[in-house]
């Protein structure tokens, strides 16, 4: 064997030995290291994916918790009862007559294990300003709700309107509902302010009087006196037709409960209410239930009458309904109460309003009493 062949044999043997050594090292060290690195990358990706999933689950849980706080209840019977009581309370606060309120149950979509929809078809009548207050209160409610199918129609030969709308809410379904803050929305929110700037923007709805019927202007006629000596000439030429005078609406039906007296002796005040049907008279003192609220005080300041600003109204009774103050002038029906703004309150009441907590479950419907609406 030549020297060259020996060198080639050594080189070839060295390559074979190096290959075998690399194969042994790769199998013993490099392959497990690569496997561990792959496992680390895979588990890191799984961990990040799980973190994102947990973050999404927590965000959903927070949203569901907020929704649960704005629901009435998880039980359909209790939720329906509280829904009806809430709507009746809002009707009274808006100054509408609760005896003119009709609530018909309706149902909507249901997704099993998630939620189901319940609601009421509302029908109530009253003056347009009070109906606007009612709609504003409905839209500002903290409960999870949807208000649609709103229709307002004038009542013939009356100054009142008829309102129909559909008010819907959700009842949550599923597991772990006991851990959710169901029904806490009303205890965490302040009462709706009917004198806010946002509410006053809606005054244009009532001031436009869009339902007033068109009254044609009467044609003007010019009377010409005939010459005294000439005999009356036969009537010639076209006649000027006068538009018929619109008929006056019939008088409103007789009211029942009327404020007929506000006597006072020293520091004592009373309100005398007459029942026009039974001809009975009842006397109320401050703190008594009156007109759908609480008799607070009597106001004896002479101010312009709400019916005729040219005439002064000598006195009125002040009633508190929820967070609002209402006034009924002497001689008026108890249903003709008007809500007072802060600047219209008597001096003794200005700045003395006590903050009221919004009641989670409004009081049950009151029995019939003077001016219940």
pLDDT in tens, 92-108: 889 888 888 999 999 88
What pLDDT sits at residue 1? 67
β-partners of residue 188 are none
Tokens standing for residue 30: 């490099």
**The sheet that has 324-329: what strands, in order across it?**
289-290, 293-299, 316-321, 324-329, 338-340
CATH number assigned to the domain covering 76-208? 3.30.70.60
What pLDDT sits at residue 223? 61
Question: Sign of the CA dihedral 144, 145, 146, 152?
Answer: negative
Condensed to tens digits (0 to 9), the pLDDT of residues 343-365 reads: 888 887 765 554 434 334 443 33
What pLDDT sits at residue 167? 93
What pLDDT sits at residue 360? 40
Closest CA to 314 of 247, 259, 277, 364: 259
Residues of the chain with pLDDT under 70: 1, 186-189, 208-255, 350-373
pTM of the predicted structure, to 2 decimals = 0.61
């Amino acid at each position: 064997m030549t020297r060259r062949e020996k060198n080639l044999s050594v080189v070839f043997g060295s390559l074979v030995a190096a290959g075998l050594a690399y194969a042994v090292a790769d199998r013993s060290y490099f392959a497990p290291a690569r496997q561990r690195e792959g496992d680390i990358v895979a588990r890191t990706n799984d961990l990040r994916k799980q973190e994102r999933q947990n973050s999404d689950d927590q965000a959903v849980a927070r949203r569901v918790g907020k929704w649960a706080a704005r629901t009435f209840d998880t039980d359909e019977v209790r939720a329906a009862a509280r829904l009806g009581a809430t709507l009746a309370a809002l009707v009274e606060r808006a100054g509408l007559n609760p005896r003119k309120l009709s609530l018909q149950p309706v149902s909507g979509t249901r997704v099993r294990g998630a939620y189901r929809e319940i609601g009421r078809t509302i029908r109530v009548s009253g003056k347009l300003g009070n109906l606007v207050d009612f709609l504003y209160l409905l839209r500002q409610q903290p409960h999870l709700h949807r208000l649609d199918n709103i229709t307002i129609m004038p009542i013939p030969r009356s100054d009142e309107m008829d309102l129909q709308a559909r008010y819907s809410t959700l009842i949550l379904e599923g597991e772990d509902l006991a851990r959710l803050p169901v029904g806490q929305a009303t205890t965490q929110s302040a009462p709706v302010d009917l004198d806010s700037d946002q509410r006053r923007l809606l005054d244009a709805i009532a001031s436009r009087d869009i339902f007033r019927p068109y009254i044609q202007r009467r044609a003007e006629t010019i009377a010409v006196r005939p010459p005294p000596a000439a005999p009356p000439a036969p009537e010639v030429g076209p006649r000027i037709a006068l538009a018929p005078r619109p008929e006056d609406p019939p008088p409103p039906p007789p009211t029942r409960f009327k404020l007929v007296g506000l006597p006072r002796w020293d520091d004592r005040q009373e309100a005398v209410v007459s029942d026009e049907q039974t001809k009975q008279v009842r006397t109320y003192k401050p703190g008594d239930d009156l007109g759908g609220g609480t008799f607070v005080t009597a106001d004896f300041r002479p101010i312009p009458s709400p019916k005729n600003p040219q005439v002064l109204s000598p006195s009125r009774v002040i009633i508190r309904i929820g967070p609002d103050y209402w006034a009924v002038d002497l001689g008026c029906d108890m249903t003709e109460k008007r809500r007072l703004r802060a600047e219209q309150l008597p001096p003794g009441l200005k700045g003395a309003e006590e903050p009221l907590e919004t009641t989670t479950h409004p009081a049950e419907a009151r029995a019939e009493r003077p001016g219940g609406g």
